[in-house]
Each structure stands twice: as C-alpha cells, then as structure tokens.
Chain A
C-alpha cells in the first residue's frame, strides 16, 4: 500500500513539474510574468466577474448578461462578451477591456469594465471630459506619478476612470448583472431544487419504500439535520421552522461544495462572498424576530436582573439589543470567513509554485509536490468544512429561533418559586439553558 502510494506521489511530482518547467523557461524573457501580482490573482479568484472562465483557457469567458441602470435611469442589458476582447500578447492570450457603446434615443451610452478606477473590475458608465477637465485630471495624475512609480502606470483618481490612455468621468450604475456569482447562485438553486424534488418524487411514487444510494444519502442528511438538530431543539415547533432551516442547510452545503469545484459550473466563491452570507444571516434575523414571543421581547427590554442594571440607565437593554444584531452578524462572518479562508489558502498554496519558480527548476519541482499535497489536503479539509459550516449555520439558526420562541417557562417557574414544583421546573429550565449555551460554545470551539 505505502509503496503504491509513493509511486503515485512520484508520478504526480513529475506530472506537475514537467509542464511547469516549460512555462518557466518560456517565461524567462518576460520580466512582467515573473513578477506575479499575487494579491491581484487571489482577489480575482475570490471575487466576482462578468464572465465565467472557460476551463483551461484563461482568456475566454462564457458570456453572461450585464444588466445596468444608466445615470439617467435607462436600463441596459447586453452580453458580457462585448466588454472584453481576446488579444494575443507575446504568444499568450489575454482578455482586454473594451468600451461598449450603445446608442439609444440619439444618445450614446458607453460602458466599460473599470481597471484603473475606484470601482475596479466593475462595469462603469463613461462620460467624456472636456479639455479643461482633462487638463486638471491629468495634472493631478502627473502629480501623483511624480511622487513615485504607480501600479498599472496611471494612478486611481476618485470619480474618474482611466481607459485607453484617457481619463473619463465614471458613474457606477445600479448593477444587477447576472455575474459569475449570480449564475452560480442560480445553478446552486437549481441543484437544490432538483435534489429535493427528486426525493419528493421518489416518496410520491414509491410511498413508504426507503430510498437507496444517492437518494438514501440525501434522506440521511435530511434526517440528520431534522431529527438531530431541529426536532431536538424546537420540539413541537420543529415542523413550522424545518422548511426554512433545511433550505438553509442544503443551499449552503451545495453552494459550499460547488465552490470547491475548480471549473464550470463550480469555481464561484459563493459562500465566501459576504453578500450571500449577509442575506442568509438577515433571513435568520427576520425569522428570529418575527416569531419572537412576548417572553423573548421581555428578556430584551426588561430582563431578570437587578433593577439598577436596567432602570435609570438602560445598560442591559443596550447589551441585549446589541446581542440581537451580533448573533446573525456572527453567523454571517463565520460562514464567509471560513469559506473564503479555505479558498484563499488553496489559491495561495497553488501560487507558491509560481512564486518559487524564480529559484529554478529543482526548487520549483519540490515546491510543486509540497504545494499540491497541501492543496489536496486543504481541499479535502474544505469538503469537511463545507459540511460543518452548513451544519453550524443551521444549528445556530435553530438555537436562535429556539431561544426566541421560548414560551417563558423560566419566568413562569419563578412565580411558583418556593413550592417544590416551581423549583424543579426552574432547575430544568436552567439546565436547558446551560445545555444550549454549551452547544453553542462547542460549535464555536470546533472552528
């Protein structure tokens, strides 16, 4: 077994090292290519884009629709392929930005994907400057340039974009384009829908038969989340909140896993994007507060603490209201940071190969092996993290909802304090509260 493994490793090392050596030698002549902009590459991979990269052809993109609202309130929809053109540069293909001009009602609307601008990699609307404006902008630019070398040749000036040797006034339109992330979002939605509906169809057709293989695994996940978390925490309210929580779990899980696939239809860093996790957290926030009981609101505005903590100065109220928002905020940041971190580590490990390329073939070869092994390990870990994070999000949402819909047995018990029954009920409530807190702490520790 170990012998076979070592042979495999050796083959792997050769395989990854060989094409790379060719690249290193071919790229020797270009100083530009050796000075990798690591940050740029990482952010490009983590961020969004107007097209979707075709596997193994970096310059080519699958065109996606761009939907923008121009400054004067007109909506425009065009293909993202008209915003880039592929040019050959030193024997390699590059995607270059192109200005897309649309005439409507006798007026020209120009859009471009900004590069030297404060709205980097976003579609902006261009407006020509008159001579005086151009002069003043150019003066500012040359002043900045005089202070030292600027990345990309021209400095970024707020409110202006530099395209094809000229500064233009820029306007960032309202942008609801179907970007790479949005497309991946739709694909994830479709996959979740297909998976769940196929399970539903199975039940409709086969009645009480137990599903096998893939469907059986799906059912296992559903019952793992439903029986293990939702029902255990919410009790008789489980059925009411199960649709939301299960949708959350599967949506996050599918988005996480899809993000780990390098090529289309994966590769979009969806759950590592704060917009996605923000919406999810807001949903949980809404669910928690809409279904919050009288007891929940009482705990916020008039908690069971000594009077001086809440009466003249609303200290506790302030803390509780703050807590209302920090809970979903923690959900949002936890998922985002975990997933983005995972992606970032894998990309960085891969980039190490190219960073070490300057030290020659031997070093590069060794780095390749190590990097690939670490990347593999990280990707495997990310599969686990994908699942854990989806589960953690669901579990914490369940706990938050569980705390919000608590009927206040605790307070009720206090009224009966002194009688044995009341004391017992109070103890039970305390124990339950502790258990919930412990569960939450354990989940936090896991990360």
Chain B
C-alpha cells in the first residue's frame, strides 16, 4: 500500500525541517517565551505578595498610630489627673502652710503679747513699788515729823537690838 510506505524524499525533508525548526526554536524561541512567562508570573506573585505586605504594613502603621493616640490620650488623662492631684496638693499645702504661718504668727503675737504683759506687769510692779515707797516715805515723813516719834522709834529699835 502506497499510504503505508514512507516516502524517502518526505522523510528526508521532514528530518531536515524538523531538526532546523527545533534548533532555531530551542535556541531563540522557547527559552525566551518560558522565561518571560515565568518571570511575569513571578512578578505577579511578587506584586500580590508586595500588596499583601503593604496592606499589612499599612494596617500595622494604622494600629500603631491608634496605639500612639491611645497612649497619648492615656498620658494626657494621667497628666490631667496628676495635675489635678498636684493642684489639690498644692492648695492643701498652701492651706497648711498658711495655717501654719498663721499659727506661728499667732504664737509670735501671743508671745509678744505675753512679753508685753510681763513687761507691763514688771513696770506696773515697779511703779506700784515706787508708789508704795513714795507713799510710805510720805507717811513716814508725816509720822516722823515730831522729834518724839523719832526718839521713840530709835528707842524701840535699840531695844530690839538689845533683846537680841
């Protein structure tokens, strides 16, 4: 059968054509196509990965920012609370100090008043003594106006000394 016997000419040319086609395509054709397809696939994969990472980073950044804001808010609240505390403390202290100062003043005042009183007392006593001496002097002077009286007294005193 003609159909089942391979024709030499066709086999010959087929061999040449196929080998040439194979060599040309193996050198300049398929490697380029496969490499391009693979590098594109890799690029796409990389892109997807990058996008995922970027999103992750964005989410992270957002979370971080939120965290910072929250932290700041907490700090602010803390600070406010502290300030309030400090304020009350200061006021308290001031009050305390004021009362202390007042007390001290009062004490000082008391002390000076006391001193003044004592001085006044002393002075008064001195005055009173002086007065009484004066009065006594006057009275004595009055009593001793007569020489009798003076002699009596001297006698009396001399008696007393003799008794002893």
Contact = CB atoms under 8 A, between A and B. Distances in A.
Interface of A: 43, 46-48, 120-121, 174-179, 181-182, 185-186, 189, 192-193, 196-197, 199-200, 203-204, 208, 210, 219, 222-223, 226, 239, 242-244, 246-247, 251, 273-276, 278-280, 283, 340
B34 A239 contact: yes
B3 to A, nearest CB: 6
Interface residues of B, number: 34
Nearest to B10: A275
22 contacts: A48-B7, A48-B10, A174-B8, A175-B9, A177-B9, A179-B9, A182-B13, A185-B14, A189-B17, A200-B33, A203-B36, A223-B37, A226-B37, A239-B31, A242-B30, A242-B34, A246-B25, A246-B30, A273-B6, A274-B5, A275-B11, A278-B11
Q: Which 7 A-B pairs have the closest CB atoms?
A: A243-B26, A275-B6, A203-B36, A275-B10, A279-B14, A243-B30, A196-B29
Contacts of B11: 275, 278-279
Q: Which secondary structure dominates chain B's binding surface?
A: helix
A275 B25 contact: no
A215 to B, nearest CB: 11
A278 B6 contact: yes
B5 to A, nearest CB: 8
Nearest to A333: B4
Contacts, number: 115
Contacts of A46: 3
Nearest to A218: B33
A48 B26 CA distance: 30
B79 interface: no
Nearest to A68: B9
Given A47-B2, A243-B25, A251-B21, A222 B12 contact: no
A335 to B, nearest CB: 13
Contacts of A203: 32-33, 36
Contacts of A276: 10, 14
A217 B32 CA distance: 17
B140 interface: no
Contact of A193 (B7, B12, B24): B24
A295 to B, nearest CB: 26
Given A186-B17, A243-B26, A244-B22, A176 B33 contact: no
Contacts of B63: none
A275 B17 CA distance: 13
Contact of A340 (B3, B5, B17): B3
Nearest to B22: A247
Nearest to A340: B3
B25 A196 contact: yes
A182 B12 CA distance: 10
Contacts of B8: 174-176
Given A193-B25, A247-B26, A200 B32 contact: yes
A219 B30 CA distance: 11
A175 B4 CA distance: 18
Contacts of B13: 176, 178, 182, 185-186
Contacts of B2: 43, 47, 120-121
B62 to A, nearest CB: 31
B15 interface: yes
